[in-house]
Structure 1
Amino acid sequence: MLNQIYFVSQKGFIQGGSTKPILIEATNSKNEIGNYVLKLFKRKHEQENFSTSKEFISSFLASEFDINTPESFVIKIDPSFLSDLLNEDELNQIDFGYHFCTEFIPDCNTFNPFGTNNFLKKWDFANVFSFDFLMLNTDRDRRKPNLLLNHEDFYVIDHELTLPFYSKPGGIPTNYNKKTFFSITNSFNISSHIFYHFMKKEVKKTSPFDEFELNLNRLNFNKIQLLFLEFSKFSILNDGINGLTDYLMWCKTNNYILDALNKKLN
């Protein structure tokens, strides 16, 4: 499920990312060389926010909800390979286990809400909007859309700031229960989302979340178990499977997630 790639060389930072993503060359299992985007997280963020596992979880769930995201890979790198880019202090802060990496999509531009989009349809807006609400994603707004467009399609990226309850702030585990889920989804502010104003108008005319509801109802929990087995294989820090599956099951078996979406738009 998590395909490993192998580092060849680094080609410098990619502009625009707060986590300083790095463009690298790597080989896959077929020994084919290609360009990939490497994301490095600080040790503190891995231990408290599980940033790498959240990226993989979000990538997996995006595909389950028929939302495009660059194909993800796992990679391990000797810190010395990055010494030309990062100073000693920066390198010491990085967690050097296995990292989250994605294929590099060439000729992409960041989504511009004021520009012309020839192929994004209303159901695309609805699917991304509802997915971000499910994931409690605070990191897709006008300032930072985290949505790439090329001449063929669009791709969602950057999901380390999702599932805020799935964390250990200060090393203290979060208490997962229905009350936690209700409270955090009820208080979640979706109004800064890049598609909020479009969806606010759309929800008054149609039922835009039918596809989201269908994908949520058919979500396969066995696949999630396989993903967490891969986390164990590569020693990727996470907070266990139960908090995630309890939340998704709560969303799946209650209409609250859809009710909350509609309430926040009305």
Structure 2
Amino acid sequence: MFPTYKAIKLLRVIDAVHGHTEPWVVLCEGENKLEAFVVKIFTEEHLLEKPRVHGEFCGTWMAGEFDLLTPEVAWIEMDQDFIHSLPPELEQKLDFHDDRLKFGSSMLSTFQHFPPGIKNSQFEKYLPVDRLFAFDNFIRNSDRGSHKPNLLLTPDEDAFLIDHEYALEIDSSTISDFENSNLPGRFSSTHITYPVLVSGSANQKHHYFEEFEIYLRSLNLKDFRKVLMEVENQGYHAEIGMIMDYFHYIQANPTTFVNLLKRQVL
């Protein structure tokens, strides 16, 4: 489902202040062109904490299904020639025995990080804020708050979602939490769109998440499972059965899910 690009040259390392890891900006070759990709270098410790690579690819795929923008993503191959071209301090960060393909996200040519204190009316020009709120709650992504919006704005007034490594925060208690109307604040009250949504008028709140529910009902979870399996087949592990159970549950109970979201922003 996703293309594979070959790493050619390291361009720079992104400072960790912008994220939980230090992604690399790498010049890559594929489909007869050279293109810069932001490549995530996850350690085995990172991957034991949560299914980060599954989260990245699944978050990107799912965003497209809800008509939200993300940069192009691809598998990035780092062969021995590339590895040996790295500065010694970076070469040591790669496990030579880990030859799995890496997750890469195309570098946008022009953008700014979501600015703090942006006016509600400006925010709403870039994307439907209620759909973004619902989307991150749906994929269980707690990593789009004011401290780290993971949202890139372009001069064309488009907003691109990035960094979904914290998505798929799903465990054996997730479904029962929903059955008990429990939605933790890390998915709701700390979300970047929360102040906009709670300040809406009664009429606006009445219509929140209507479009999201339409997308949810038509979502093809068979294709979603293909994404999970593609990542799994590259040697990364996730509890796919439990993840699929959660998404099937939400899709089977769309109105209940939407009503729970509405209660968070009343």
Query: Shorter-chain TM-score: which interval?
Result: 0.7 to 0.9
CA separation of 1:84 and 1:126: change in aligned 2, threshold 3 A: farther
Unaligned regions of 5+ residues in structure 1, if any?
Answer: 166-173
Q: TM-score by structure 2 length?
A: 0.86
Q: Using a 3 Å threshold, how does the CA distance of structure 1 residues 11 and 123 change in structure 2: closer, same or farther?
A: closer
Cα displacement (A) at 1:82: 3.7
| 2:265 is equivalent to residue 262 of structure 1 | no
In structure 2, the partner of 1:14 is 14
Task: Tell me whether 1:150 sits opposite 2:154 in the alignment.
Answer: yes
C-alpha change, 1:177 and 1:141, in structure 2 (3 Å) is closer
Where 2:75 maps in the other structure, the secondary structure is: strand
Superposition pairs for residues 1-266 of structure 1, below 5 Å? 1-15=1-15, 16-28=18-30, 30-78=31-79, 79-84=83-88, 86=90, 88=92, 90-92=93-95, 96-115=99-118, 120-121=124-125, 124-152=128-156, 153-165=158-170, 174-175=171-172, 178-182=175-179, 185-189=182-186, 190-202=188-200, 204-206=202-204, 207-240=207-240, 242-254=241-253, 255-266=255-266
**Change beyond 3 A, Cα 1:203–1:36:** farther
Percent identical across equivalent pairs?
26
Q: TM-score, normalised by structure 1?
A: 0.86
CA–CA separation in structure 2 for the residues paired with 1:55 and 1:94: 22
Name the aligned partner's letter for residue 248 of structure 1: F
- In the alignment, the residues of structure 2 paired with residue 2 and residue 122 of structure 1 have an alpha-carbon distance, to the nearest angstrom, of 27
Q: Deviation of residue 214 (structure 1)?
A: 0.6
Cα deviation, 1:22-44, whole Å, max 9, x if unaligned, reads 1111111x221111111111112
Q: Which moved more, 1:220-229 or 1:75-84?
A: 75-84
Structure 2 CA distance, aligned partners of 1:257 and 1:195?
Answer: 18
CA contact (8 A) 2:126 2:153 kept: no
CA distance in 1, matches of 2:180, 2:95: 37
Letter in 1 for 2:44: R
Aligned partner of 2:70: which letter? T
Number of residues paired by the alignment?
255
